Structure 1
């Protein structure tokens, strides 16, 4: 099983047509955008350079590659929240807050409540440092 999302060489070849065939409106959940050579990744965002619109990070969550990464992270973390140890409503959180960085070392399992608390703390002053300390402590356990 793979632990990183892998792109084919065609995903980098801009001499080919966009994977949507020039019809982004037909691209259901934008699943093709995640593998398209015209998808530019920078600053935690993905942008379609061919048609000039942002690609939401949630578009990848239906992809088989993401499900495999998510399952591997859940297995690695024992299927429990790294903060409270809960085993229901589990989410996979991007530690560096970059939703395009799906390296397993950047992912941690959190329950829905702890995940919400992390993002609430991040919006507060000094939240980034506090969350970084909490994540570091959770990874040591």
Structure 2
């Protein structure tokens, strides 16, 4: 095939379509087909596996980053983190749940040492004003679940 001059960028190239090179054609003429995303149901350009670009990255790349960050920040694998932070142990709130170490030792990541608390109860357990009330509630719940209760709250929750 002989090379010709692109009508748009004036470079010598092999013409693709409508008198333009491949690069100019993709920039100016070609429009991706819009499809309904399987996850978010919006009509957007298809990326892969029936998903738009945002949903694809969320499902396949964000999960890897979360697993890496949980391991780095809490030294806990993703499955244990999700199991512990399913809901707040005190009130049952499940939208935002933080990880709390019962013995105040962040290196002790046994399942019996970790509990999930909502931001309100997590803040309250670290403040002396509310500590006793939250510990009483936690001890009742821990006793029901067959886990050890805590007698000396000063040693554990400072």
Q: Name the TM-score, length of structure 2 as normaliser.
A: 0.39
In the superposition, the TM-score normalised over structure 1's length comes to 0.43
Give the structure, 1 or 2, with the largest relative contact order (CA under 8 Å, sep 6 or more). 1
